[in-house]
Structure 1
Amino acid sequence: MATKIHIESVTKEFRTLGNTHVAVDDLTLDIPEGSFTTFVGPSGCGKTTTLRMLAGLETPTSGSIQFGETDVTDLPPQERNVSMVFQSIALYPHMSVRENIGYGLKIHGVPTAERNERIDEAAEVLQIEEQLEKMPAELSGGQQQRVALGGAFVQDPDVLLLDEPMSDLDAKLKSDLRVEIQRLHQELDTTVVYVTHDQTEAMTMSDQVVLLREGELAQVDPPKQLFDYPNSDYVAQFIGMPSTNVIDCTVETGGGTTVLSGSDISVPLPADIETIQSEHVKLGIRPQYLDVGTTGDYSFSLDVEVIETLGTESVVHGRLDDGSKFDVVSANVDAVSAGDQLDVSFDFSDVFIFDQAGETILFGAEHTKEAESAPTGSSQ
């Protein structure tokens, strides 16, 4: 039965050769009952350590973890009704697929008849019914990972923990298993916590995404909210491929106007925006929000270095006049080649503005939406 998870002020420290390393730093988080929540972030950010604390394989240095109303902080793994699938496909090579899937049930004393019934159900859901009597060595990588998933699902856990289960698979298998795991989650009454460094997995599979940075919570939100409204330049640059373009800008005021100037990009702010109390800010523009040509509110040019064709669209990697890297995603660059100068443009609704510390102080889309919905007054 699915359960909610509450992590309260959890810190995990490791001591190595007399030095203390903080892997997770004062993390507080709610994971809704029955949700699919993904922890994502660069290597060393604390996501796997957090998962291991949920599993009971690590004990927090401080703080607490609750499953439902039960404090499980100090409970051993076998008392948590948790199943875990690791990055490495840990199957017993001397056991058949059926025996591998049912091993956890066997050691918990589930009768043979019930065990086989649950194994058959799991195999049907995972589409590996015909593989049950085979040995792991006879299976493809994707089939082996399905067996590992089956061994976790068949135990009917309250919480299913998945630690980068697809990192060793090829792109096609990853794509297939992403759909498979989402379908399984819809059929099972369990709370799924998934760890990955692959933001595509995080954005396509999750109800909510938890982005960590050096052991701390950077932002937790549904995928679209995370993409559209990042709360910092770190989030904006980590979420989304290619990364968000971020330009250092000087805030220039005079004559009743405020202009952000950086490299060869100049962005006059709408008159109804409050004065920015800083001499320097950062301007963020996602490559997907740029238009080829000069039809947008603000236009500039970049020198094209490399073009990556992705089928229906292409990624243009270029540089601005000051040498800053700048990327554009567009379907309208068939006639563009490396060495060309490309005109691009954007609207104010496309931008993020960050302070010097990297915190978001303005979303162009949010301001535009407010401006459009503001009353225009009545005529006499």
Structure 2
Amino acid sequence: MPKLQAMSTPPITELTTRAREIFRLVVEGYLATGTPVGSKALAGPGGVNLSSASIRSVLADLEAYGLLAAPHTSAGRLPTEAGLRLFVDGIMQVAEPTAEERAAIESRLSAPGPIEVALEATSVLLSNLSSGAGVVMVPKREPRLRQLQLVPLGPNKALAVLVGDDGAVENRVVELPARLPSGALEEASNYISARLAGRTLEEASRFMQAEVSSGRSALDAASSDLVERGLAAWSEDAMQRPVLIVRGQANLLDEAAISDLERVRSLLDDLENKQSVADLLDMAREADATRIFIGSENRLFALSGSSVIASPYRDREGRVVGVVGVIGPTRLNYARVVPMVDFTAQSLGKLIG
């Protein structure tokens, strides 16, 4: 059974066994239907053996604790965010994924192809299984250089055409120092392609600095400066760019969301901000267990009232290399989605090795 990293909850020591059972039934009913649960439903088949009046009294007490809320005077109750947190941390029974879910996850991850394809398939699969949005934070790649060509754009700028060993080509604009000697751009490009090819950015930078400091480098000061600028342009960008895959956003537009256009707009804006989503998932990197963020517990999705379930995945050495998770409404089926995310994280770890 997957572990959960608990968040702080109000100390509700006054809950009686009866109140706890009614609270559980309200939360489970709400998570199953998305609608408030009334006293009549709680007194019906599968409910509690109490009169409607007694149930209403307990519901009022739970509402006073801040665990339940009534959207309308005549409506039933639904859990507050504090109530959902208490349920998740202290009442919810988390089971293992079903055999069908495990088979679907393992089958998708075992398909041949590059790791990026498997990661994208993972986000799609989690979206389909959870009816939420599947998210995967990809391990930051450490590209190896094949070639770098510096092409002049004007007196003070050049275009750095960067080619990685995987064939990926990216362009960056590099500021040039004043009064640059003729031929410096070509000399710097040739040096990188000849001396630094096959190295990661960090390795290339260390190698070049060692050559310059030991006097072994044939580069003059201007060309050496250009090489450093070219490497920095790629390295800084690679470090800051969130490598994030989000699939299944349409699942988040349920009937409740569509009736609240402001929430829809806020949710879609949040998902467009990939850096902020990556920062949120990054909070799960150091966790020993699956993390659950409910509604306003995370500032990113506070306005849209969404929840996030996230789990880090590790390589064979135990190093965290990424995070996998699900974003959905606060009425997510936590008991089902948590073990699914946890199992997916474990499976990804085995795949990445």
Structure ID, larger Rg: 2
Q: TM over 0.5, yes or no?
A: no
Report which structure shows greater RCO (CA 8 Å, sep ≥6).
Answer: 2
**Structure with the bigger percentage of helix:** 2
Task: Normalising by structure 2, report the TM-score.
Answer: 0.23
Task: Normalising by structure 1, report the TM-score.
Answer: 0.22
